[in-house]
Amino acid sequence: MKIKEIINPSDIQDAYEQLVSRKNATLMGGGIFLRLQRRTIPFVIDLSNLGLNSIEITSTGFTIGAMVTLRQIETNASIPDGLRACVRQIAGVAVRNMATVGGSVMGRYPFSDVLTALVSLNATLHFHKKGAVPIAQFADNGLDEPDILLNICVPKVKNSLFAVYKPVYTDFSLVNLSISKEEKYTISMGATPKHATSITVESLSDSHAVLDQFDFETDRRASAEYRRALAKVLLEDAFEEAKVWK
């Protein structure tokens, strides 16, 4: 990646105006996914100076700034288990020190572990212009116009877990799933190879019925049948783990 021009605004409205007024403006979170691209980016807006890098505990849950790194999430004991377990297994510490939760969501990467965990937690995204957007809606449709993700609100849950299969530790997921429990259970499945979708169930009694609610497809990394077989095992293990939840 080569950058022709970069700015580092300290005012969110200024950053937004630059985004919508400059042709080919690109927002940068941690920048590590952007830098994998072999292209020249004409104009980058670095979001690191906007004060979006803290995690706040609220009466109803957590507000996670878009520039919070995966490592900050991993090391914060207040964050729900499912989200911490998810980020803990992503690449190495050096990557997790740089990759931001905002970049992880906004990329809408179909393999994303972070998206799967946040969909099961019924998180809400807060954008500068558009305001609040449920994460499942964003995962399905993206945004219809450029915007800056400010933070992610994660409601309190009683329990949550995350499970994944990767051929090798540093690889991308062949399938991933997350379960959270408040009154009901929300189960999300991602990397199918499409991005995460979720269902809500009253109890975790029938993993076969749950499995049937999700679609699996073939890509160059794995067949639909293989992904479905992996998901079956992950779901059965997850149901077993969740048996002790109050």
Contact positions vs ligand FAD (CB under 6 A): 26-34, 47, 66, 70, 90-91, 95, 99-100, 102-104, 106-107, 112-114, 148-149, 172
Nearest-approach distance from CB 206 to ligand FAD, in angstroms: 29
Nearest-approach distance from CB 245 to ligand FAD, in angstroms: 25
Question: Helix-strand-coil percent breakdown of the chain, rounded to 5?
Answer: 30, 25, 40
Q: Which is nearer to ligand FAD, 90 or 157 (CB)?
A: 90
- Cα(126)–Cα(168) distance, rounded to whole angstroms? 34
DSSP per-residue string spanning 113-182: HHHHHHHHTT-EEEETTTEEEEHHHHHHH--SS---EEEEEEE--SEEEEEEE-SSTTSPPSEEEEEEES
- Cα(32)–Cα(52) distance, rounded to whole angstroms? 18
Please list the residues that pair with 45 across neighbouring strands.
Answer: 7, 27
Give me 94's structure tokens: 């050096």
Nearest-approach distance from CB 38 to ligand FAD, in angstroms: 14
Nearest-approach distance from CB 5 to ligand FAD, in angstroms: 15
User: Residue of minimal CB distance from ligand FAD?
Assistant: 103
Q: Which is nearer to ligand FAD, 157 or 164 (CB)?
A: 164
Q: Which is nearer to ligand FAD, 106 or 187 (CB)?
A: 106
Q: Which is nearer to ligand FAD, 97 or 159 (CB)?
A: 97
Which three-class secondary structure state does DSSP give residue 224?
helix
Nearest-approach distance from CB 100 to ligand FAD, in angstroms: 3
Q: Which is nearer to ligand FAD, 33 or 165 (CB)?
A: 33
